[in-house]
Amino acid sequence: MNPTVSCRRATELLSEQLDRELSLEEKAALKAHLLICRGCRAVDQQFRFLRDAIRDLVDGDEPPSRG
């Protein structure tokens, strides 16, 4: 894999890392990209937040006693 990835490709990897284990090459390329790209760092935060938000949407009115 090309060691430098585009922002579009980085967003694909940011999505895929939530669904599968990335290869070492993919991880390295993504990590290098995130170091220099604050836009993609924001997307990383946003994708992770979406996961929390969906769980909250489904479980949100569970009594506070839930573990």
The 8-class DSSP code of residue 22 comes to P
CB 45 to another protein: min, Å: 5
Site for another protein in 7-66 (CB under 8 A): 7-9, 11-12, 15-16, 18-20, 37-43, 45-47, 49-58, 60-63, 66
Query: What are residue 61's phi and psi, to 5 degrees?
Result: -100, 20
Which of 21, 26, 24, 31 lies closest to 2, judged by CA?
Answer: 26
Structure tokens belonging to residue 40: 């993609």
Binding stretches for another protein (CB under 8 A):
6-9, 11-12, 15-16, 18-20, 37-43, 45-47, 49-58, 60-63, 66
